[in-house]
Amino acid sequence: MDDVLELERRVAELNKILHEYGHAYYDLDAPIVPDSEYDAKMQELLAIEEEHPDLIYPDSPTQRVGGTPLEVFSKVVHRYPMLSLANAFNEADLRDFDRRVQEAAGSVVYVCELKIDGLAVSLQYENGQLVQGSTRGDGAVGEDITANLRTIRSVPLRLQQPLTIEVRGEAYMPKRSFAKLNEDRDEAGEVPFANPRNAAAGSLRQLDPKIAASRNLATFIYAVGGDAEAYNLDSHSDALDKLDQLGLTTNEERKRCATIDEVLDYVAYWTEHRQALDYEIDGIVIKVDNFEAQEQLGYTAKSPRWAIAYKFPAEEVRTKLIDIELSV
Neighbours of 176 (CB within 10 A): 12
- Through-space distance between the first and last CA atoms of the chain, rounded to whole angstroms: 48
Best CA proximity match to 328, nearest among 264, 280, 272: 264
**Coil/strand/helix, residue 132:** strand
- Catalytic residue chosen out of the listed positions 115, 175, 242, 302: 115
Q: Which residues ranging from 74 to 93 are in contact with ligand NAD (CB under 6 A)?
A: 84-85, 87
Q: Which of 14, 15, 29, 38 binds ligand NAD (CB under 6 A)?
A: 38
**In the complex, least distance from residue 22 CB atom to ligand NAD, rounded to whole angstroms:** 5
Please give the helix or strand (H or E) that residue 178 lies within, else none.
Answer: helix 175-187
Could you give the CA distance from residue 35 to residue 276 in angstroms, rounded to a whole number? Answer: 21
User: What's the chain's length in residues?
Assistant: 328
Q: Does 252 count as an annotated binding residue?
A: no
**Coil/strand/helix, residue 217:** coil
Instruction: Tell me, yes or no, if 115 is annotated catalytic.
Output: yes
Could you give the CA distance from residue 42 to residue 278 in angstroms, rounded to a whole number? Answer: 29
Could you give the CA distance from residue 140 to residue 51 in angstroms, rounded to a whole number? Answer: 28
Q: Does 149 count as an annotated binding residue?
A: no
**Is 284 a binder of ligand NAD (CB under 6 A)?**
no
270 or 326: CB nearest ligand NAD: 270
Q: Does 157 count as an annotated binding residue?
A: no
**In the complex, least distance from residue 238 CB atom to ligand NAD, rounded to whole angstroms:** 16
**In the complex, least distance from residue 210 CB atom to ligand NAD, rounded to whole angstroms:** 25
Q: Which stretch binds ligand NAD (CB under 6 A): 100-108, 111-119, 155-163, 175-183?
A: 111-119
Q: Which stretch binds ligand NAD (CB under 6 A): 3-11, 112-120, 156-164, 241-249?
A: 112-120
Could you give the CA distance from residue 233 to residue 242 in angstroms, rounded to a whole number? Answer: 8
List 283's β-bridge partners, or say none: 115, 311
7 or 194: CB nearest ligand NAD: 194
**Which residues does the annotation mark as catalytic?**
115
Q: Which residues bind ligand NAD (CB under 6 A)?
A: 21-22, 25, 31, 33-35, 38-39, 65-66, 84-85, 87, 113, 115-116, 120, 136, 170, 222, 285, 309
